[in-house]
């Protein structure tokens, strides 16, 4: 079919992107909804297991039959006979052309099926030459049959002359009679409307073709929407409480009640939240209002709580002396997940800078304190050295006085010996 010459311009949507010709046995992919010729896509998959259009993974098992509408559009394209160069001017729909080549075309190659002496002739020739071959090779009986057929044709033509129909019978003219078409047409009411019917038929054919193409596009779009819906559900599950549909976004209040409008869109149980952020369990008095519990209330404190939570001198003192409560900044669910993550990143960066600044300040203070303590220690050492020298001088003076007493006692007689024996204080020159 790819050898046919097409009479009318071909719609680009009916063309295979591999062979650049109208579809032959069109086949569509179940994964990406692209259509190719059956032979073209199988040959392409034998080289690379991917779709030739978008390079997605593709296997022969992912191929399926195309929509019957597309097959009908391709089969109804008008083509010329393959023997036009030899003189055949036959034009028909592509689905009818094989029948013409098999049964009617005078230029098609046929084989002689006449048998002689139990053997089939089998000679190959054009159909227009078959009768002459049969007359010349297989006898003259064919000529008699031809004469009989001519006789029957003449009889049929005489009968046809007795009853004629209007050329506009296809559009509704009921005339059937002995008048020739040239005699009937001047009075036929459909003759004046033939131009309208021709134009209308052309428009209807064009609209039918466009309608078929649009149906194919709608089927493709429905498949695409189905895939997008699956991806959207996956993204919704991944985003969790940050997912919010468009109509719920429009219903957000301007002040205060952000969490209440978001709670309807989130639909996440409080068990999915961290333990410290889960709302308190409702008591018996609120058991009948379980549907109205706000699962995101810990993220958004009420305005009266914000007023009561303002700093007072006592709370400021508590924060200075390290007695502040476990206050956690609420997450901003009013923005996108990207914006929340960006805000958290900025907070972490600021916290890192603050920790680094505190560390540097601590190092500077520790260095200054170390220098001050070193200076004080050197001063204490100098003072201790001075005291040691003073005590050493005092001890030296005492030793000198004791030595003088001993020498004086030695010249005093026996009593001096007793004094030396019982008053030996030893050396006290060392501390």
Q: What is the enclosing helix (H) or strand (E) of 152?
A: helix 141-162
Q: List, for residues 274-288, the tens digit of each pLDDT value.
A: 444 444 444 444 444
pLDDT greater than 70 at residue 189: yes
Torsion sign across C-alpha atoms 302, 307, 308, 313: positive
Task: Tell me the C-alpha to C-alpha distance, in Å, between residue 411 and each of 153, 246, 422.
Answer: 191, 124, 17
DSSP state of 218: H
Q: What is the enclosing helix (H) or strand (E) of 29?
A: strand 26-29
pLDDT greater than 70 at residue 259: no
Pick the most confident of 177-191, 200-214, 300-314: 200-214
- Model pLDDT, residue 333: 66
Torsion sign across C-alpha atoms 374, 377, 383, 388: negative
**Chain mean pLDDT for the chain:** 75
- Model pLDDT, residue 161: 54
- Model pLDDT, residue 292: 46
Percent of the chain residues topping a pLDDT of 90? 20
- 355-377 mean pLDDT: 94
User: Could you please report the per-residue DSSP string of 335-404?
Assistant: S-HHHHHHHHHHHHHHHHHHHHHHHHHHHHHHHHHHHHHHHHHHHHHHHHHHHHHHHHHHHHHHHHHHHH
DSSP SS3 for 92? strand
State phi, psi for 49 to the nearest 5 degrees: -80, 60
pTM: 0.33
pLDDT greater than 60 at residue 364: yes
Q: Which residue has the higher pLDDT, 363 or 261?
A: 363
- 330-351 mean pLDDT: 80
Secondary-structure percent of the chain, ordered helix, strand, coil, rounded to 5 = 60, 10, 30
pLDDT greater than 70 at residue 360: yes
DSSP state of 57: B
- Domains of the chain are 1-107 (3.30.40.10), 246-309 (no CATH)
Please tell me the distance from the alpha carbon of residue 69 to that of residue 285, in angstroms, as a whole number: 65
Percent of the chain residues topping a pLDDT of 70? 66
Q: List, for residues 5-44, the tens digit of each pLDDT value.
A: 888 888 888 899 898 889 888 999 988 889 999 999 999 9
Yes or no: say if 53 and 63 are a contact pair by the CB < 8 Å rule: no
């Amino acid at each position: 079919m790819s050898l046919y010459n097409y009479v009318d311009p071909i719609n680009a949507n009916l063309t295979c992107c591999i062979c650049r010709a109208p579809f032959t046995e069109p086949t569509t992919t179940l994964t990406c909804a692209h259509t190719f010729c059956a032979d073209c896509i199988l040959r392409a998959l034998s080289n690379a297991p991917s779709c030739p259009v978008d390079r997605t993974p593709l296997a022969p098992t992912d191929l399926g039959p195309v929509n019957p509408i597309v097959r009908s559009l391709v089969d109804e394209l008008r083509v010329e006979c393959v023997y036009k160069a030899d003189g055949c001017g036959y034009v028909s729909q592509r689905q009818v052309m094989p029948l013409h080549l098999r049964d009617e075309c005078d230029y098609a190659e046929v084989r002689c099926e006449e048998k002689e002496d139990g053997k089939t002739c089998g000679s190959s020739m054009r159909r227009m030459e078959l009768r002459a071959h049969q007359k010349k090779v297989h006898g003259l009986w064919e000529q008699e049959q031809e004469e009989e057929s001519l006789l029957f044709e003449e009889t049929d033509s005489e009968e046809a002359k007795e009853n004629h129909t209007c050329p506009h019978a296809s559009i509704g003219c009921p005339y059937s009679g002995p008048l020739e078409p040239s005699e009937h047409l001047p009075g036929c009411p459909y003759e004046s409307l033939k131009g309208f019917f021709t134009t209308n038929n052309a428009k209807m054919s064009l609209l039918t073709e466009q309608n078929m193409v649009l149906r194919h596009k709608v089927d493709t779009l429905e498949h695409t929407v189905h895939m997008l819906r699956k991806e959207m559900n996956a993204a919704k599950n991944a985003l969790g409480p940050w997912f919010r549909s468009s109509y719920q976004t429009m219903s957000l209040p301007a002040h205060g009640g952000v969490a209440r409008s978001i709670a309807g869109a989130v639909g996440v149980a409080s068990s999915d939240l961290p333990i410290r952020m889960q709302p308190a369990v409702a008591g018996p008095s609120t058991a009948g209002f379980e549907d109205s519990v706000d699962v995101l209330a810990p993220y958004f404190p009420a305005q009266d709580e914000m007023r009561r939570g303002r700093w007072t001198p006592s709370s400021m003192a508590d924060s200075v002396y390290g007695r502040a409560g476990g206050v956690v900044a609420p997450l901003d669910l009013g923005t996108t997940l990207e914006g929340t993550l960006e805000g958290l990143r900025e907070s972490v960066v600021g916290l890192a800078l603050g920790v680094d600044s505190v560390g540097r300040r601590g190092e500077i203070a520790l260095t200054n304190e170390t220098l001050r303590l070193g200076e004080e220690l050197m001063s204490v050492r100098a003072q201790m050295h001075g005291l040691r020298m003073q005590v050493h001088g005092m001890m030296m003076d005492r030793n000198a006085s004791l030595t003088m007493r001993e020498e004086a006692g030695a010249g005093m007689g026996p009593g001096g010996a007793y004094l030396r024996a019982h008053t030996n204080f030893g050396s006290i020159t060392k501390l």
